[in-house]
């Protein structure tokens, strides 16, 4: 069978259609006149022709004069009808008469028989003409009738088709109607769903409002339950507190029905508890327990039957977590089955999370308030203690050393009155040994100066814990001015000391609390966070090293805060003389990322000491990304470094951008935290050094006795001659005055304590916050004529509180912004990924087709030319074919490579033994003359993505087989070589041709090859894939080799055992 390429394919052209029947008819009618002329022509021509023929054959024919003319006339009559027949008959008769009848060429008649024969001929001709004319007419009529009939048939067929179409259209319309009805139903279902969602959203929004509004946990749970039932349209909602110890869940709040049932029922999270079917599992599994149809539940316990009888059909219980631990449950119950679908469940889970967060916040708030309250009450107690202190007096005669102690002094010293002789030594013995030296030194110093004695010490022996005493003594002189005596008082100051300690402890607790909150939100402290940033940057960019630097705003210098894998020498260089140079310096100066693909070639490093430092550390490429905060301020920089020259791809850079923003916010936030801590330190300092004043107000005339501290609080350096309540009110800012005064009047009217915070304008015009408290002092008659108290400047504390609130607010804002940005970036990245996927899909289809065409048409050409092909032509054709084949392999490899980059990473336990076996089996079939000695050691189980690791192993083994081709036998070894930073080191070794290590950096780059394809085929993508895969696993891959000495490829992976043991 012969076929040629230029032979037209026997296809049917879609648009080609022949002339129609109607067209044929029209042209038939137009030709009538022409055919008439033709008939006459034939009638004339045929007799003449016959005459000529008969004449030439006359010799044989004579004497039969009509021999040929009779058939001629019949033919003419048949073709030309009556008219043709007559014309032919007459012409024939004439011709016979004239030419053939004797006498020839004369019209004379020789015999009457001739005349008769002419007459018969003419009559026959006419008759024949008539007959044939009739015949033709009949034929024509029947043809016409046929045509009409055909036309009718066609019309009928067309009509039939039309009916069919109409029927089809009607069927379609009905189908449409059905579909619309179905859509309508679906829409109704959908609208019910939407209604349910909108109710749910309303409930969530209410819950959020509640969270913002409430100030106590009781209120929170009550309001949340109420909002869930009222706005969410649920039948019942309750919140219970789980007790870890008893495993019982106590309902705290409940809304809807059956409320009483919830309160009366015993809820528990115990394994054996079979009553409450949703609450227990929710707590035990720490995840939402959803039962969409209560009848489906396995067992109808009391709880279920109780719920069912109240009309409840579906239940969902969500664990509430506080600080990551299950705190209690949030139960929601509905009258309809199947209402808790994925979306509803997710929204309610969100609500449960919000509740947990709110509870945590409230607890923090309560702790803070308790700390503040105890601060206040202890201060107050101190004032009262001072007030109520039993003072003892003493007198000390210097010349004799004799002591006089009042009766009150003995118990203060912890001694039985008059149990011994009062003396300096007796006193000394009562001082706690730890304090003795310091007290004595201070005392001797006062006496040497002949000045006032002021001592504080702890009593040596006391049954009721630590007791502090304070003594103040004044020198007395005789008439000559010589110091003879000291007299003094001793008071107990234990309460004050305790209050001071409490103050310090409380403040410390507040700082810690704040830190704890911060740490909780950002997982760990800043150093850990920075280390985390470096780790993440390395993981993203597949780098070998990395570091993060913070900008010191004071000096403008970068300082390395955390690093991975860089030697000390390197760190020292960049922290000192290299500071501001290199890629980091450039990135800092430009405010944008700097990439150095190869430090050796970069003008930035050329002929600088930095180049040597980089090379010594093994750094060949680097990228530095500045950390730009929200306020467009550069807070620092992170860099990742590579052993091989390279440029991170666009995707990696996008991810690094995202990380940089996150890190910048994290750092800014951490720095904000630092500022906060500073302000807290200020607060403590302020409180410790603040001047507290004491006052004593006469309630009748409103005059007051005060300490100097009191007047200093109001901005006077010296004690004023007089002070009144009204004067105090004048200092209070007008907007606070009314409330302070009202509180005072209420306190005096009810004889209760007076306490307030307000703003005052000091004598020097400065506005400050003060806090004051007072208590009625009863006289001997039990009447309250005086009020005594203290006043304290609390401006610093107030400021610190405000700063705290502000930073908390900013912190929250920051988090929200961050989340928003992460969401946006995720969407962007997803779009980019989708586009990439579309691109590679197109590539895989569209790039392959032309190659197939090349192959196909070359193949056909080869077949066409057959055996005539010269050696050279054959070579040319083979080259075309080989080249297109190579390109196809290249495209396949590239696509696999790009797919690898986008593939989702699915980590699991992977047995390397198994994987190596699989990889070996899937290797390309090796020619039978290859002898390969495989040596595969037992390999560990690792964690990773099996599909990716398999590809990596196939690439490595494929390489080993390929490059050991010249060896007989080839030896390929797979094994493990110890550990490196918690990762197991694995290797694939061959005894092949190897390579020069100076080109090692090229090994793992895409399209990088160390051998030309005439030696060893390949596309240069295999090792790039290996690198990508191992890097995605967090490991590293490297090679060792020498030309002709074989090559060993090492890679590291996380062993599965350490993972599982760390979990255990």
Partner 1 sequence: MPDPTGHFVPIHRILLVEDSDRDAELALDALSDFSMAEQVLRVRDGAEALDYLHQRGCFAGRPSGNPAVVLLDLKMPKVDGIEVLRRVKGDPELKIIPVIVMTSSREDRDLLSSYQLGVNAYVVKPLHFKEFSSAVKQVGSFWGILNEAPPGTVPGRPLPSS
Site string for partner 1, 236-265 (x = CB under 8 A): ------------------------------
18 binding partner 1? (CB under 8 A): yes
| Distance between CA atoms of residues 398 and 402, nearest Å | 7
- Tell me which of 448, 463, 845, 872 binds partner 1, using CB under 8 A: 845
Sign of CA dihedral 363, 365, 368, 373: negative
Give the integer Cα–Cα distance in Å for 786 and 695: 10
Q: Which is nearer to partner 1, 14 or 749 (CB)?
A: 14
**C-beta closer to partner 1: residue 35 or 842:** 842
How many residues in the shown chain lie near partner 1 by CB under 8 A? Answer: 35
- Is residue 50 within 8 Å of 99, Cβ to Cβ? no
Helix (H) or strand (E) holding 248: strand 248-256
Q: Which is closer to partner 1, CB of 441 or CB of 852?
A: 852
Stretch that binds partner 1, among 18-26, 433-441, 465-473, 494-502 (CB under 8 A): 18-26
Q: Which of 170, 179, 474, 853 binds partner 1 (CB under 8 A)?
A: 853
Cβ proximity to partner 1: between 71 and 859 the closer is: 859
Q: How far is the CB of 849 from partner 1 (least distance, A)?
A: 5
Instruction: Tell me how far apart the alpha carbons of residues 611 and 573 are, in angstroms, rounded to a whole number.
Output: 11
Peptide bond just before 685 cis, omega within 30 deg: no
**Residue 182 or 778 with smaller CB distance to partner 1:** 182
Nearer to partner 1, 480 or 867 (CB): 867
**Does 707 help bind partner 1 (rule: CB under 8 A)?**
no
Please say whether the beta carbons of 360 and 321 come within 8 A: no
Closest to 531 in 3D by CA, of 581, 555, 554, 565:
565
Tell me if 26 contacts partner 1 by CB under 8 A: no
- Say if CB 1005 and CB 1049 are below 8 A apart: no
Residue with Cβ nearer partner 1 (820 or 879): 879
Among 347, 858, 880, 923, interactor with partner 1 by CB under 8 A = 858
Among 700, 849, 925, 1064, binds partner 1 (CB under 8 A): 849
What is the CB neighbour count within 10 angstroms for residue 468?
19
Bridge partners of 459, per DSSP, are 431
Residue with tokens 């403590």: 684
Helix-strand-coil split of the chain, %, nearest 5? 55, 20, 25
Which one among 310, 460, 851, 977 touches partner 1, defined by CB under 8 A?
851
Give me 440's structure tokens. 């004595």
Check residue 154 for interaction with partner 1 (CB under 8 A).
yes
212 near partner 1, rule: CB under 8 A: no
Q: Which stretch binds partner 1 (CB under 8 A): 388-396, 740-748, 764-772, 859-867?
A: 859-867
Site for partner 1 in 824-843 (CB under 8 A): 841-842
What does the H/E/C string look like for 478-502? CCCCCEEEEEEEEEECHHHHHHHHH
Binding to partner 1 by residue 21, rule CB under 8 A? yes
654 part of the interface to partner 1, by CB under 8 A: no
Position 17 contacts partner 1 (CB under 8 A): yes
We find the least distance from the C-beta atom of residue 823 to partner 1, in angstroms, to be 26
Instruction: Provide the minimum distance between the beta carbon of 131 and partner 1 in the complex, in angstroms, as a whole number.
Output: 34
By the rule CB under 8 A, 812 interacts with partner 1:
no
* DSSP three-state, residue 754: strand
Q: 703 or 881: whose CB is closer to partner 1?
A: 881
Can you read off the two tokens belonging to residue 1? 């069978």
The one segment of 8-16, 64-72, 88-96, 198-206 that binds partner 1 by CB under 8 A: 8-16
Structure-token pair, residue 927? 């020619």
DSSP character at residue 294: G
Which of 70, 557, 844, 1008 is close enough to bind partner 1 by CB under 8 A? 844
By CB under 8 A, tell whether 181 contacts partner 1: no
Q: Which of 11, 479, 576, 928 binds partner 1 (CB under 8 A)?
A: 11
Quick check: 29 binds partner 1 (CB under 8 A)? no
- Please say which residue, 247 or 848, places its beta carbon nearer to partner 1: 848
Asked whether position 37 contacts partner 1 by CB under 8 A, the answer is no
Number of other CB atoms surrounding residue 858 within 10 Å:
17
Angstrom CA distances, 260 to 220, 226, 307, 319, 440, stand at 20, 15, 11, 22, 72
Residue 1006 backbone dihedrals phi, psi, to 5 degrees: -65, 135
Applying CB under 8 A, which of residues 70, 855, 911, 1057 lies at the interface with partner 1? 855
Q: What's the chain's Rg over C-alpha atoms? A: 56
Which of 802, 922 has the CB closer to partner 1? 922
Measured distance CA(895)–CA(860) in Å, rounded: 29
Upstream peptide bond of 204 is cis (omega within 30 degrees of 0): no
Give the one residue of 464, 779, 846, 868 binding partner 1; rule: CB under 8 A.
Answer: 846
Does residue 860 bind partner 1 (CB under 8 A)? yes
CB of 1032 to partner 1, least distance (A): 19
Interface region with partner 1, contact rule CB under 8 A, candidates 216-224, 688-696, 807-815, 855-863: 855-863
CB of 166 to partner 1, least distance (A): 14
**Pure H helices in 847-977:** 848-865, 871-902, 912-921, 946-963
Q: Does position 12 bind partner 1 by CB under 8 A?
A: yes
d(CA 613, CA 22): 95
Nearer to partner 1, 173 or 521 (CB): 173
Strand order in 558-564's β-sheet? 558-564, 545-551, 634-642, 621-628, 594-596
Burial 277-296 (b: 16+ CB within 10 A, else e): bbbbbbbbeeebbbbbebee
Under rule CB under 8 A, residue 2 binds partner 1:
no
Which tokens sit at 608? 């600088």
CA angle 858/864/870 to nearest 5° reads 80
Of 679 and 903, CB closest to partner 1: 903
The stretch near partner 1 (CB under 8 A) out of 92-100, 808-816, 850-858, 1010-1018 is 850-858
Nearer to partner 1 by Cβ, of 804 and 895: the residue is: 895
Q: Does residue number 924 form part of the binding site for partner 1 (CB under 8 A)?
A: no
Using CB under 8 A, which residues numbered 876 to 905 contact partner 1? 881, 884-885, 888
Nearer to partner 1, 62 or 833 (CB): 833
CA 754 → CA 452, 786, 788, 794, distances in Å?
36, 12, 10, 17
Q: What residues contact residue 860 under an 8 Å CB cut-off, 6+ apart?
A: 5
Q: Which two tokens stand for residue 177?
A: 């109607």
Nearest approach in angstroms of CB 161 to partner 1 is 8
CA dihedral 998, 1001, 1003, 1006 (to 10 degrees): -140
List the structure tokens of 1006: 């895409």
DSSP notation for 49-99: HHHHHHHHTHHHHTT-TTTTHHHHHHHHHHHHHHHHHHHHHHHHHHHIIII
Cis amide bond preceding 996, omega within 30 = no
Q: Of 157 and 466, which has the nearer Cβ to partner 1? A: 157
Should residue 856 be labelled a site residue for partner 1 when binding is judged by CB under 8 A? yes
Among 6, 20, 700, 929, binds partner 1 (CB under 8 A): 20
Q: Which of 180, 512, 852, 874 is close enough to bind partner 1 by CB under 8 A?
A: 852
Residue 321 β-bridge partners:
326
Asked if 866 interacts with partner 1 (CB under 8 A), we say no
- Binding status of residue 170 toward partner 1 by CB under 8 A: no
337 near partner 1 (CB under 8 A):
no
Q: Which residues bind partner 1 (CB under 8 A)?
A: 1, 3, 9-12, 14-15, 17-18, 20-21, 154, 157, 841-842, 844-846, 848-849, 851-853, 855-860, 862, 881, 884-885, 888
């Amino acid at each position: 069978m012969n076929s040629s390429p230029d032979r037209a394919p026997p296809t049917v052209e879609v648009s080609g259609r022949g002339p129609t029947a109607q067209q044929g008819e029209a042209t038939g009618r137009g030709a009538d006149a022409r055919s008439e002329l033709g008939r006459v022509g034939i009638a004339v021509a045929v007799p003449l022709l016959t005459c000529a023929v008969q004449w030439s054959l006359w010799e044989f024919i004579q004497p039969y004069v009509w021999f040929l003319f009779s058939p001629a006339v019949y033919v003419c009559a048949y073709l030309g009808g009556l008219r043709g027949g007559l014309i032919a008959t007459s012409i024939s008769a004439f011709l016979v008469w004239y030419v053939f009848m004797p006498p020839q060429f004369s019209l004379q008649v020789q015999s009457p028989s001739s005349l008769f024969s002419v007459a018969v001929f003419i009559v026959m001709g006419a008759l024949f003409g008539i007959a044939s004319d009739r015949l033709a007419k009949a034929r024509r009529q029947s043809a016409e009738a046929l045509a009409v009939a055909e036309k009718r048939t066609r019309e009928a067929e067309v009509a039939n088709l039309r009916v069919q179409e109409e029927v089809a259209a009607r069927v379609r319309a009905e189908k449409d109607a059905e579909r619309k009805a179905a859509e309508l139903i679906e829409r109704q279902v959908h609208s019910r769903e939407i209604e349910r969602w909108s109710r749910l959203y309303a409930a969530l929004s209410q819950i959020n409002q509640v969270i913002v509004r409430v100030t106590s946990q009781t209120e929170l749970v009550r309001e949340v339950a109420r909002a869930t039932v009222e706005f969410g349209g649920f039948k019942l909602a309750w919140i219970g507190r789980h007790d870890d110890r008893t495993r019982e869940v106590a309902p705290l709040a409940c809304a809807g029905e059956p409320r009483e049932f919830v309160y009366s029922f015993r809820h528990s999270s115990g394994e054996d508890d079979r009553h409450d079917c949703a609450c227990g599992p929710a707590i035990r599994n720490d995840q939402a327990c959803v039962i969409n149809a209560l009848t489906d539940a396995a067992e109808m316990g009391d709880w279920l039957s109780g719920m069912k009888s109240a009309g409840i059909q579906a239940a969902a219980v969500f664990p509430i977590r506080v600080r990551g631990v299950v705190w209690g449950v949030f139960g929601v119950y509905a009258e309809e089955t199947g209402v808790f679908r994925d979306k509803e469940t997710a929204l309610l889970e969100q609500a449960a999370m919000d509740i947990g967060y709110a509870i945590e916040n409230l607890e923090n708030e309560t702790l803070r308030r308790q700390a503040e309250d105890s601060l206040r009450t202890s201060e107050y107690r101190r004032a009262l203690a001072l007030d109520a202190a039993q003072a003892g007096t003493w007198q000390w005669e210097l010349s004799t050393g004799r002591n006089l102690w009042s009766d009150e002094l003995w118990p203060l010293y912890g001694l039985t009155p008059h149990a011994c002789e009062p003396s300096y030594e007796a006193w000394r013995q009562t001082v706690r040994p730890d304090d003795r030296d310091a007290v004595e030194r201070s005392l001797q110093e006062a006496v040497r100066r002949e000045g006032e004695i002021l001592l504080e010490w702890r009593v040596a022996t006391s049954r009721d814990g630590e007791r502090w005493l304070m003594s103040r003594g004044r020198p007395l002189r005789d008439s000559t001015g010589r110091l003879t005596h000291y007299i003094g008082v001793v008071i107990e100051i234990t309460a004050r000391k305790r209050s001071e300690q409490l103050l310090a402890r409380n403040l410390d607790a507040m700082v810690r609390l704040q830190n704890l909150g911060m740490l909780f939100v950002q997982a760990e402290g800043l150093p850990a966070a920075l280390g985390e940033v470096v780790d993440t940057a390395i993981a993203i960019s597949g780098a070998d090293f990395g570091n993060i630097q913070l900008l010191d705003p004071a000096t403008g210098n970068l300082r390395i805060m955390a690093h991975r894998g860089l030697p000390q020498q390197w760190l020292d260089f960049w922290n000192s003389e290299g500071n501001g140079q290199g890629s980091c310096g450039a990135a800092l100066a430009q405010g944008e990322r700097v990439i150095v693909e190869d430090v050796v070639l970069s003008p930035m490093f050329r002929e600088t000491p930095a180049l040597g430092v980089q090379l010594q550390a093994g750094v060949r490429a680097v990228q530095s990304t500045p950390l730009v905060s929200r306020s467009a301020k550069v807070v620092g920089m992170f860099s990742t470094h590579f052993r091989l020259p390279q440029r991170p791809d666009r995707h990696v850079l996008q991810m690094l951008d995202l990380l940089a923003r996150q890190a910048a916010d994290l750092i800014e936030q951490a720095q904000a935290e630092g500022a906060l801590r500073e302000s807290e330190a200020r607060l403590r300092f302020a409180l410790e050094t603040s001047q507290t004043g004491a006052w004593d107000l006469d309630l009748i005339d409103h005059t007051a006795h005060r300490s100097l501290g009191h007047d200093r609080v109001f901005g006077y350096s010296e004690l004023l001659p007089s002070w009144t309540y009204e004067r105090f009110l004048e200092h209070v800012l007008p907007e606070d005055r009314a409330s302070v005064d009202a509180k005072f009047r209420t306190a005096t009217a009810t004889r209760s304590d007076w306490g307030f915070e307000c703003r005052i304008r000091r004598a020097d015009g400065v506005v400050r916050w003060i806090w004051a408290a007072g208590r009625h002092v009863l006289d001997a008659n039990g009447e309250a004529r005086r009020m005594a108290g203290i006043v304290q400047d609390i401006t610093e504390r107030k400021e610190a509180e405000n700063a705290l609130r502000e930073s908390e607010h900013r912190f929250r804002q920051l988090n929200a912004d961050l989340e928003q940005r992460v969401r946006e970036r995720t969407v962007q990245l997803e779009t980019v990924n989708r586009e990439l996927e579309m691109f590679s899909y197109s590539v895989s289809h569209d790039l392959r087709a032309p190659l197939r065409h090349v192959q196909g048409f070359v193949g056909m050409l080869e077949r066409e030319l057959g055996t005539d092909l010269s050696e050279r032509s054959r070579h040319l054709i083979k080259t075309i074919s080989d080249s297109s084949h190579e390109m196809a392999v290249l495209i396949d490899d590239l696509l696999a490579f790009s797919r690898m980059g986008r593939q989702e990473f699915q980590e699991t336990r992977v047995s390397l033994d198994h994987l190596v076996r699989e990889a070996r089996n899937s290797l390309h079939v090796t020619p039978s003359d290859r002898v390969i000695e495989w040596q595969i050691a037992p390999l560990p189980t690792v964690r990773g993505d099996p599909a990716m690791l398999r590809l990596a192993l196939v690439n490595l083994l494929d390489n080993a087989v390929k490059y050991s081709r010249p060896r007989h036998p080839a030896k390929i070894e797979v094994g493990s070589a110890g550990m490196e930073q918690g990762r197991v080191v694995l290797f694939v070794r061959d005894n092949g041709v190897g390579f020069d290590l100076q080109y090692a950096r090229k090994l793992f780059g895409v399209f990088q090859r160390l051998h030309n394809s005439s030696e060893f085929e390949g596309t240069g993508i295999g090792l790039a894939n290996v690198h990508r895969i191992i890097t995605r696993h967090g490991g590293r891959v490297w090679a060792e080799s020498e030309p002709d000495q074989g090559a060993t490829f090492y890679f590291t992976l996380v062993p599965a055992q350490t993972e599982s043991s760390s979990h255990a």
